[in-house]
Structure 1
Amino acid sequence: MRVLVNMPSQHGGRPSGVALVAFRVIAGLLDRGNVAVVLRSPWTRTQLPEAIRDRVAVLTVPRPRLMVLDVLRQAVTVPALCRAEGIDVVLNADPYGAAFGGRARVSVVHDIYFRTIPDCTGWREALTTDLIFRLVLGNSARVIAVSDTTRDSLGQFYPSLRERVRTAPSAAMLDASASSGVAPEATRGAYVLAVGNATHNKNFATLARAAAALSHTHPDLAIVHVGEDPQETLAAALSGAPVRLMRLSRIGEDRLASLYRGALCLCVPSFAEGFCLPVLEAQTLGCPVLCSDRSATPEIAGDGALTFDPTDHAALAAALRRLLHEPGLRADLIVRGHANARRYDWAETARRYEGVLIEALQDAARPMPAGEAADAHPAP
């Protein structure tokens, strides 16, 4: 089975969550031995992870400026490419891909924030994204959701997709063999770790307000943020409270692993998450997890986390206070976190993806009802 992994929306050489998941899936599919992969993306061969660098055919394309125009362009260019390369299935790594091409298409949805938290996007962006979803997903034989929560959201907003959506969760990017060294931050008192860019859905302001509320009784408690925060969301929400805030970005895996190991906890106060890899990374590395009780975070964290209302910083402050004063609770969360993280495995993820690709081909091989276009599905 020849598979075109189509990922034009990602920046070449910049490992976003979408790209990292795609690379892990590609490696897993190749290890299973039943597919050949052509990767169409802004990544060059030398930029790719070693695990797949010399095992895929590489077609490097520029990242488009306007996604909607590129999606329309792909509707013409990708079918021609598929004919030239003998592609069986197009696997769009996200919905900003090809609506046509190959014998069938499978598209991956990582989140649907423009629908579930509409105040995170302007109306023009929401309208454009909806158009892209309807075109690309509507012409996909199968849609892969990264969590049951995302699957359910797709079914809610696009009812005609319900029978075509399959869940294929990811797994931790960092493993237990990652660096066991001590992070420099661990020598300066307890710290809460926040991982991810400070976008609206991450709701890091709630963490800052909780830390500020604890600053008088726990003056040594700090926040370490790994990610970009161009709007200074955390600093603004601290409102001058004497809380030590450390900002890190673009750090290596060993440094990140050390930060997980040394933290009081990972805090995920998100309003919405499609999956949330940091939860599993923390659990894998023995870091307790405090997370929002909304969206996909409680699903992914399982029994290995304390949950709280992300709109209530006092509830988060109370949970942090418990971790500081109840060592037994922290130890219990670590044990339960390890057990939960073991439920997720990249080999199983690849097995599920392969199953969906086969389903899509089988669907394409069935005789089409009279009057139905041979290369299309109803728009959701």
Structure 2
Amino acid sequence: MTRVLVDLLFFTGKQGGTETVARQIYSRLAARPGWEFVGYASSELAAAGADWFPGRLIDSGLQCDKRPQWAWGELFGVSRAARAVGADVIHAPANFGPPRPSAPLLLTLHDVLAFKRPEFLPSKLGVLPTKLLIAGAARAATRIVTVSEAARTDILEVTGRRASDVTVIHPGGSGVTTSEAPRPRSGLFSLGNRMPHKNFPRLLEALALIPEAERPTLTISGSHGDDPLRKVAAELGIEKWVDLRGWLTNDEVESLYRTSAAVVFPTMFEGFGLPVLEGMERGCPVICSDIPVLREVGGDAVRYFDPADADDMAAQIRATLADSDVLSEMADAGRARARRFTWDAAADALLDALAATATHD
């Protein structure tokens, strides 16, 4: 029996894609013979519960929305917990992990944004502390997994690790079926947190450039608290076309994917780009940034724009929405493309990586 201590300190219910990846993979690892999973959880997760996790949770007693507590947990708590439960391997699934692990460490490093584009990191996070924590975990890791070939290239450049030390495990889609009768679709949907690299102000600029007679409504989800985009929309005079939503439930997000004419993803930097995959899977055409990682996900099934150019963004949105045949073709191509990415395959690959880490000499 291989016992895995899973670092779940990051899991507060507000971390977007990193939580989605962990939840989807670990929900598929229940009853796998030969494996035992113990989660070292933030107090937020311990209080909320985790029916998706295939083992017991240890309440760290740390409120990980409070960064000093979270940092202490990563630096010291995870290794202590792994030692206490007799873990054979530690998995840190969200970029950060113990710099002195008490067992072989598998680190999932989604991206190296702090190193490649530090200007996109909110100042409240602290660029230098973030770099130090990631670098410490990356050096200490026996193996690293990441979510795309583009991210792997960046990680090898930043960390200097051997190519054989870093493995790509693509995230999957949700497995939704699309055989139901088509629903009426209108407007644009975009989602993500309000970190600078998500590039939402430029998307609003692009929307303002579209003539009113053609201008679609735009729903943007993912904000916490007072949305900074509200002021931007007001300054551009497009408030009535913009619906700024907070953190939505899975059902609310699902409804928007299934009723929007297109998903727009204007990001400047990503490790993977789940909204592109999720939109394609649901037959919702995707218009997104022309950056290598999104080409890796979307291939020829989506339309691309220069994320630094609001005029190009507006032009691609207008051209896509104006042609119903194009929208239909993109929906079909997207569904076909999305079938290449599955969570079952990701779960199997993670077990392979855990086994290789646990047996590493």
| Code of the aligned partner of 2:199 | N
Q: 1:233 to 1:74 in 2, by over 3 A?
A: closer
Of structures 1 and 2, the larger Rg is shown by 1
Instruction: Give 1:212's match in structure 2, choosing from 208, 212, 222.
Output: 208
2: CA distance, partners of 1:76 / 1:99? 9
Q: Residues 283-322 of structure 1: matches in 2 within 5 Å? A: 283-322=280-319
Higher mean C-alpha displacement, 93-102 vs 142-151:
93-102
Alpha carbons of structure 1 residues 180 and 146: separation in structure 2 relative to 1, 3 Å: farther
Alignment-derived partner of residue 138 in structure 2:
137
Kindly report which structure 2 residues correspond to 1:55-66, keeping only aligned pairs within 5 A, or say none.
Answer: 55-61=54-60, 62-64=62-64
2:33 maps to which residue?
33
What amino acid maps onto 1:60 in structure 2? D
- Judge conservation of contact 1:107–1:144 (CA < 8 Å) in 2: yes
Conserved in 2, the CA contact under 8 Å of 1:41 and 1:60?
yes
Residue 81 of structure 1: SS of its match in structure 2? helix
**C-alpha deviations, 1:227-246, integer Å up to 9, x for none?**
21745326515611475111
**Identity percentage of aligned residues:** 23
Q: How far did 1:191 drift?
A: 0.9
Cα gap change, 1:276 to 1:136, in 2 (>3 Å): same
Listed as ranges, the gaps of 5+ residues in structure 2 are: none
RMSD: 2.7
Offset of residue 352 of structure 1 = 0.9
Would the aligned equivalents of 2:139 and 2:159 in 1 still touch at CA under 8 Å? no
Partner of 1:222: 217
Q: Residue 335 and residue 136 in structure 1: after superposition, are their counterparts in 2 closer, same or farther (change >3 A)?
A: same
Look up the SS of the partner of 2:27 in the other structure.
helix
Matches within 5 A, 1:328-347: 328-347=325-344
1:8-53 deviation line (CA, Å, top 9, x unaligned): 1332x5463222321222222335433110011115556334343x
The structural deviation recorded for 1:145 is 0.7
Tell me the equivalent position of 1:201.
197
Matches within 5 A, 1:5-24: 5-11=6-12, 13-14=13-14, 16-24=16-24
Matches within 5 A, 1:210-289: 210-219=206-215, 221-228=216-223, 230-233=226-229, 235-236=231-232, 239-241=236-238, 244-289=241-286
* Cα displacement string for residues 263-295 of structure 1 (whole angstroms, at most 9, x for unaligned residues): 121000110011121111111111000010114
What's the secondary structure of 1:304's corresponding residue?
coil
Q: How does 1:88-167 map to 2 (within 5 A)?
A: 88-121=88-121, 122=123, 125-160=126-161, 162-167=163-168
Does residue 354 of the first structure (1) align with residue 351 of the second (2)? yes
Aligned residues: 355
Q: 2:321 aligns with which of 308, 319, 324?
A: 324
Deviations 1:120-164 (A, max 9, x none): 234982211121122111011001111111111111111135431
Q: Aligned partners of 2:331, 2:116: CA distance in 1, in Å?
A: 31
Cα pair distance change 1:85/1:243, threshold 3 Å: same
**SS in structure 2 opposite 1:272?**
coil
Moved more, 341-350 or 107-116: 107-116
Alpha-carbon distance in 1 for matches of 2:3, 2:327:
47
Gaps of 5+ in 1: 367-380
Match of 1:378 in 2: none
Deviation at residue 89 of structure 1 after TM alignment: 0.6
CA distance in 1 between partners of 2:314 and 2:3 (Å):
52
2:178, 2:283 within 8 Å by CA — same for their partners in 1? no
Find the aligned partners of 2:239 and 2:101 in 1 and give their Cα distance: 57
Distance, in Å, in 2 between the alignment partners of 1:5 and 1:276 is 24
